């Protein structure tokens, strides 16, 4: 009798503890799902100054990255370009324009346009070369702006038109001399559209510093963008365990410590947490926590009482 009563009492306690865990887990899931900044987009790490959730990263780089279920995109006025890699040590990012011609595919021209902010903060690197192809003899880069074309490690148009299956067409279609091309920097395509340049196709090649004697089949096609990191004290926030972000309304810098706490500079003691503008999910999780507290108080209150009663009975 005695033993049976006690074990029944234990079962009750176990059940209550289990219920509490379920509630607690639910609260944690709710906080996680909506609270913090994602630091990966598929396999690409997302760190400062970038962010894929609004309010994360540096405000200057806001809305530049877009993470879909399969790819990370760099959004520009001329389209969304697939991000191939981000090198946080060298501070660069390689993007690929799927509408661009390469050694293996010929596609009609398409301007590459960055916003003014992007041109200033994250322009193509100096070792990214734009190759303008099939230019008309009236093209400004063959006349007045000839100086914008440079000698690219001894490479010629003929070599490109000869080595690449896609560019062979330019040569085949011209009766005698292949149409001119121009190796140039981002500045040229920034200030002149392909229509003004009067060239029908372009491609771009990155990591061009060591391409002397390397054929076009082995070049890396894409655009490398190089960026600077704003010096805003993000390191202090990161060291304290936070993630750098900003207030989406005022753009003021924030150190995001947890789903419920934002500090101005760093997490931990002395941090100023902001509870203004609580989101519905925050209210939900606070509500759940309150429930758990009330619940456990009542459970333990009840158990203690029944425990005492049982002792008194025995
Ligand atoms: C903390 O900042 C992030 C990013 O701006 C925001 O989404 C979140 O709601 C803020 N949390 C609090 C408690 O203010
Ligand atoms: C993100 O990129 C995809 C793919 O190009 C595009 O369809 C979508 O509209 C973009 N979203 C935003 C918010 O830019
Ligand atoms: C090369 O440019 C000329 C006009 O200058 C155009 O008629 C021709 O179609 C272009 N070649 C290719 C392969 O697009």
Q: Residue range 181-188: average pLDDT?
A: 95
Ligand 2 centroid from CA 67, angstroms: 8
To test ligand 2's pocket by mutation, which of 51, 66, 78, 98 has the most ligand atoms within 8 angstroms of CB?
Answer: 66
- Percent of the chain at pLDDT above 70? 74
Ligand 3 centroid from CA 72, angstroms: 33
Ligand 1 centroid from CA 275, angstroms: 8
Q: What value does the mean pLDDT of the chain take?
A: 80
What's the per-residue H, E or C state across 212-238? CCCCHHHCEECEEEECCCCCCCHHHHH
Q: Name the closest ligand to CA 81.
A: 2
What percent of the chain is helix, strand and coil (3-state, nearest 5)?
A: 35, 20, 40
Q: For the chain, count helices (H), then strands (E).
A: 8, 14
Please tell me the distance from the alpha carbon of residue 172 to that of residue 143, in angstroms, as a whole number.
Answer: 25
Ligand 3 centroid from CA 201, angstroms: 9
Say whether pLDDT at 289 is over 50. no
Ligand 3 centroid from CA 93, angstroms: 32
Q: Is the CB of 174 under 6 A from ligand 3?
A: no
Cis peptide bond upstream of 311, omega within 30: no
Write down the pLDDT at residue 205: 95
3-state class (DSSP) for residue 282: helix
CA atoms within 13 A on the CB side of 188: 28
- Long-range (24+ apart) CB contacts under 8 A made by 288-294 are 288/23, 288/26, 288/27, 288/30, 289/27, 291/23, 292/20, 292/23, 292/24, 292/27
Question: Domain locations in the chain?
Answer: 2-36+258-313, 92-226
Say whether pLDDT at 181 is over 80. yes
| H or E segment to which residue 128 belongs | strand 128-135
Ligand 2 centroid from CA 260, angstroms: 29
Among the residue ranges 4-18, 41-55, 232-246, 260-274, the one predicted with the least confidence is 4-18
Q: Residue range 136-154: average pLDDT?
A: 93
User: For residue 245, which of 50, 87, 68 has the smallest C-alpha distance?
Assistant: 50
Say whether pLDDT at 184 is over 60. yes
Q: Is the CB of 247 under 6 A from ligand 1?
A: yes
Q: What are phi and psi of 155, to 5 degrees?
A: -85, 150
User: For residue 182, which of 224, 153, 152 has the smallest C-alpha distance?
Assistant: 152
Q: What angle do CA 293, 295, 301 make, to 5 degrees?
A: 100
User: For residue 151, which of 173, 125, 177, 129 has the smallest C-alpha distance?
Assistant: 129
Q: Which residue has the higher pLDDT, 37 or 289?
A: 37
Which atom of ligand 3 is closest in space to residue 179's alpha carbon? 1
Ligand 1 centroid from CA 20, angstroms: 28
| H or E segment to which residue 263 belongs | strand 262-263
What count of residues does the chain have?
A: 314
Q: Residue range 202-217: average pLDDT?
A: 93
pLDDT category at 173 given cuts 50, 70, 90 is confident
Q: Name the closest ligand to CA 64.
A: 2
- Atom 11 in ligand 2: residue holding the nearest Cα: 66
* Dihedral of alpha carbons 222, 226, 232, 238, sign: positive
- Atom 7 in ligand 2: residue holding the nearest Cα: 80
Write down the pLDDT at residue 264: 87
To test ligand 2's pocket by mutation, which of 63, 75, 82, 95 has the most ligand atoms within 8 angstroms of CB?
Answer: 75
Say whether pLDDT at 269 is over 90. no
Listed in sequence order, the residues at least 6 apart from 57 whose beta carbon sits closer than 8 Å to its beta carbon are: 37, 46, 48, 49, 50, 51, 244, 245, 246
Write down the pLDDT at residue 172: 78
Q: Is the CB of 172 under 6 A from ligand 3?
A: no
pLDDT category at 139 given cuts 50, 70, 90 is very high
Q: Which residues pair with 82 in a beta bridge?
A: 73, 96
């Amino acid at each position: 009798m005695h033993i049976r009563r006690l074990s029944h009492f234990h079962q009750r306690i176990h059940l209550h503890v289990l219920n509490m865990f379920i509630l607690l887990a639910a609260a944690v899931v709710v906080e996680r799902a909506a609270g913090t900044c994602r630091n990966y987009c598929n396999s690409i790490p997302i760190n400062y100054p970038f962010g894929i959730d609004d309010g994360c990263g540096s405000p200057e780089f806001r809305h530049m990255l877009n993470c879909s279920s399969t790819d990370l995109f760099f959004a520009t006025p001329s389209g969304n370009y697939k991000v191939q890699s981000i090198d946080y040590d060298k501070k660069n990012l390689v993007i690929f324009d799927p509408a661009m011609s390469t050694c293996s595919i010929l596609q009609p021209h398409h301007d590459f346009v960055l916003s003014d902010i992007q041109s200033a903060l994250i322009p193509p690197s100096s070792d990214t070369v734009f190759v303008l192809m099939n230019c008309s003899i009236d093209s400004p880069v063959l006349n007045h702006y000839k100086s914008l074309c440079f000698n690219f490690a001894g490479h010629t148009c003929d070599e490109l038109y000869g080595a690449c299956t896609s560019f062979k067409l330019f040569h085949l279609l011209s009766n005698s001399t292949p149409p001119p091309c121009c190796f140039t920097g981002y500045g040229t395509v920034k200030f002149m559209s392909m229509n003004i340049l009067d060239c029908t196709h372009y491609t771009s090649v990155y990591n061009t510093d060591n391409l002397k004697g390397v054929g076009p089949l082995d070049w890396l096609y894409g655009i490398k963008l190089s960026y600077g990191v704003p010096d805003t004290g993000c390191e202090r926030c990161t060291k304290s365990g936070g993630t750098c972000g900003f207030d989406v309304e005022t753009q003021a810098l924030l150190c995001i410590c947890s789903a419920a706490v934002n500090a101005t500079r760093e997490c931990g003691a002395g941090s100023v947490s902001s509870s203004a503008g609580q989101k519905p999910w925050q209210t939900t999780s606070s509500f759940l926590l309150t429930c758990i507290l009330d619940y456990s108080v009542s459970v333990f209150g009840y158990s203690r009482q029944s425990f005492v009663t049982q002792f008194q009975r025995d």
